[in-house]
């Protein structure tokens, strides 16, 4: 069963708008961190859908620093991207 | 057919623009910012690419400052209605297009704002940035919240000293809104250096993109109320538009093919070189003015300004009639008032307006010679 199954080696930074998620992805890509824009509907049950970037959890500290430096506001970090 | 109506919309479009629009519709036209499947993301990538291109080309702070609109008029309405409050005072120039004048006039008629018109001294050979700014400063009131002006006129080639006006607005804490309908892709613009809070521009004129691809480039830290509300692709459970720009201002689906085309239009302008294009258009305009001025029946309006637009009238022939006759001979120009009652009053054109000729980068001296010959013929000279 694939439903809601997550990949623990992937982490997620929930961002918000598509533009900010793209900005985050570009900032990470320019620092050679592989990241993918995903839709994270179920990460916030009060506001509704948000865009997020998923990245290898091994890069967690690096990602936080890059996004902070790029001025990308991250709503939450969590473990477990979609497979 | 000789196309001389580039101030209305540029034509022909570069092949790179046509190709990218077609490629978009064929290969990646998902809905950008709606969902995250491959096509939606591919479309979103292109939208982001174009935002970045625009921000970079116009000295904007970043991609998030670029709001796509249908056209300049929509961008201007967004800035005007999003930033003004009841009791505000606004300054507009005496050369404004109805895209500025009508929203301001409506708000004033409803008793929400007041406004004054400042002189651009377009017909004064002694005009300077200092004299124009003095005229503006004399009209600033304690409640003046916004100044709106066209960077370049849509009926002649007069250009306003945007950098000096921007500095004046900064000094007085006034929002500076620029209508770049005739300057984007023709003249250098740097939002940051020119102190512009809202740059409103079309994609389909000097930037060589398709119709439907306008934009508003916000200056840094400008937050406005929304003109439209609707789907934004995220925070869907909330009743209000999100705070995050640009999505805050972009309710509904964006025209991805038009925006993809615009991106290539801007790249074409970069490749050709803004200064090369400007130089060519000035030279063609100078040649046009020199040829038309040899016809005794012709009056040129503000011909001392050199750019890409020339306005004229022929004695005894209405502007519309001249436009019709030129069309019959294969020349595309625009006759009448050009949606600018203020501008025509300032230039003192006759009843019925005048004929606007706006050559573009693709026009040649041979086109101008043929055009002048046709005008001369219509005036009964040949």
pTM of the model: 0.95
- Taking CA B310 as the corner, what is the angle to CA B306 and CA B315, rounded to the nearest 5 degrees? 135
CB contact under 8 A, B64 and A18: no
The boundaries of the domain holding residue B287 are 273-378
Residue A1 pLDDT class (50, 70, 90 cuts)? very low
Domain end call among B271, B301, B330: B271
Q: Are residues B117 and B192 in the same domain?
A: yes
Q: How far apart are CA B338 and CA B356, in angstroms?
A: 8
**What's the pLDDT at A42?**
63
Give domain status of residue B106, yes or no. Answer: yes
Q: Are residues B277 and B256 in the same domain?
A: no
Query: Which of A16, A22, A46 is nearest residue B234 as measured by Cβ atoms?
Result: A16
Instruction: Give the distance from residue B37's alpha carbon to the nearest chain A alpha carbon, in angstroms.
Output: 8
**What's the pLDDT at A78?**
87
Which positions in chain A touch B244 (Cβ < 8 Å)?
A: 16-17, 19-20
Query: Which of A26, A38, A49 is nearest residue B234 as measured by Cβ atoms?
Result: A49
Instruction: Give the distance from residue B29's alpha carbon to the nearest chain A alpha carbon, in angstroms.
Output: 16
Say what angle helices B256-272 and B38-57 make with each other, to 10 degrees: 40
Domain end call among B271, B289, B311: B271
Instruction: Tell whether the torsion through CA atoms of B52, B56, B60 and B61 is positive or negative.
Output: positive
Query: Which of B36, B63, B237 is nearest residue A19 as measured by Cβ atoms?
Result: B63
**What's the pLDDT at B85?**
98
Which positions in chain B touch A38 (Cβ < 8 Å)?
A: 36
Instruction: Give the distance from residue A19's alpha carbon to the nearest chain B alpha carbon, in angstroms.
Output: 7
First to last CA, chain B: 21
CA-nearest of B199, B155, B208, B206 to B179 is B199
Q: Are residues B220 and B124 in the same domain?
A: yes
> Residue B209 in contact with residue B266, Cβ under 8 Å?
yes
Chain B: residue nearest A70 by CA? B62
3-class DSSP assignment, residue B272: helix
Q: Which domains does chain A have, with CATH numbers?
A: 6-82 (3.30.70.260)
Instruction: Give the distance from residue B234's alpha carbon to the nearest chain A alpha carbon, in angstroms.
Output: 5
CATH number, position B351:
3.90.1150.10
DSSP state of B12: S
Residue A4 has pLDDT above 80, yes or no: no
Q: How far apart are CA B33 and CA B254, in angstroms?
A: 9
- Mean pLDDT in order along chain B per 10 residues (382 residues): 98 98 98 93 97 98 97 98 98 98 98 98 94 98 98 96 98 98 97 98 98 97 97 91 96 98 98 96 95 97 92 97 98 97 96 97 97 97 76
> Residue B206 in contact with residue B231, Cβ under 8 Å?
no
Domain end call among B206, B238, B271: B271
**What's the pLDDT at A74?**
94
Residues of A with CB under 8 A from a CB of B: 16-20, 22-23, 26, 37-39, 46-51
Q: Are residues B278 and B251 in the same domain?
A: no
Question: Total structural domains in chain B?
Answer: 2
Query: Which of B32, B63, B235 is nearest residue A50 as measured by Cβ atoms?
Result: B235
Average pLDDT over residues A11-34: 96
Residue A2 has pLDDT above 80, yes or no: no
Q: Are residues B240 and B293 in the same domain?
A: no
Average pLDDT over residues A35-50: 79
Give domain status of residue B6, yes or no. Answer: no
CB atoms within 10 A of CB B110: 9
First to last CA, chain A: 12
Exposure on the CB side of residue B225, measured as CA atoms within 13 A:
8
Residue A81 has pLDDT above 80, yes or no: no
């Amino acid at each position: 069963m694939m439903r809601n199954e997550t990949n623990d080696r992937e982490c997620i930074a929930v961002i918000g708008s598509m533009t900010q998620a793209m900005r985050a992805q570009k900032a990470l890509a320019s620092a050679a961190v592989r990241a993918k824009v995903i839709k994270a509907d179920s990460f916030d049950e009060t506001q509704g859908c948000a865009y997020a970037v998923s990245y290898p959890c091994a890069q967690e500290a690096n990602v936080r620093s890059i996004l902070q430096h790029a001025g990308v506001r991250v709503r939450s970090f969590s473990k477990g991207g979609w497979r | 057919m000789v196309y001389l109506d580039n101030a209305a919309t540029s034509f022909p479009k570069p092949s790179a623009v046509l190709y990218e629009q077609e490629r978009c519709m064929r290969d990646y036209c998902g809905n950008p910012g709606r969902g995250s499947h491959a096509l939606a993301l591919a479309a979103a990538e292109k939208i982001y690419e174009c935002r970045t291109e625009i921000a970079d080309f116009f000295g904007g702070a970043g991609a998030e400052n670029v709001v796509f609109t249908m056209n300049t008029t929509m961008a201007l309405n967004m800035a005007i209605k999003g930033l003004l409050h009841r009791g505000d005072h606004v300054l507009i120039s005496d050369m404004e297009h109805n895209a500025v004048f009508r929203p301001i006039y409506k708000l004033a008629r409803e008793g929400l704002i007041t406004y004054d018109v400042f002189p651009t001294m377009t017909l004064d050979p002694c005009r300077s940035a200092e004299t124009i700014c003095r005229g503006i400063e004399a009209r600033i009131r304690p409640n003046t919240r916004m100044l709106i002006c066209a960077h370049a006129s849509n009926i002649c080639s007069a250009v306003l000293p945007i950098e000096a006006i921007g500095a004046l607005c900064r000094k007085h804490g006034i929002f500076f809104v620029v209508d770049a309908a005739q300057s984007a892709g023709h003249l250098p613009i740097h939002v940051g250096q020119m102190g512009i809070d809202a740059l409103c521009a079309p994609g389909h004129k000097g930037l060589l993109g398709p119709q439907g691809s306008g934009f508003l480039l916000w200056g840094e830290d400008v937050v406005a109320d929304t003109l439209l509300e609707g789907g934004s692709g995220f925070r869907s459970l909330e009743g209000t538009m999100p705070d995050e720009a640009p999505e805050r201002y972009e309710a509904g689906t964006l025209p991805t093919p038009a925006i993809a085309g615009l991106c290539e239009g801007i790249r074409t302008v970069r490749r050709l070189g803004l200064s090369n294009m400007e130089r060519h258009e000035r030279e063609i305009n100078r040649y046009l003015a020199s040829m038309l001025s040899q016809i005794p029946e012709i009056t040129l309006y503000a011909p001392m300004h050199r750019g890409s637009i020339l306005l004229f009238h022929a004695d005894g022939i209405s502007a519309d009639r001249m436009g019709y006759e030129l069309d019959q001979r294969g020349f595309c120009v625009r006759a009448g008032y050009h949606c600018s009652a203020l501008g025509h009053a300032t230039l003192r054109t006759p009843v019925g307006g005048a004929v606007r000729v706006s050559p573009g980068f693709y026009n040649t001296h041979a086109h101008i010679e043929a055009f002048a010959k046709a005008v001369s013929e219509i005036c009964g000279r040949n």
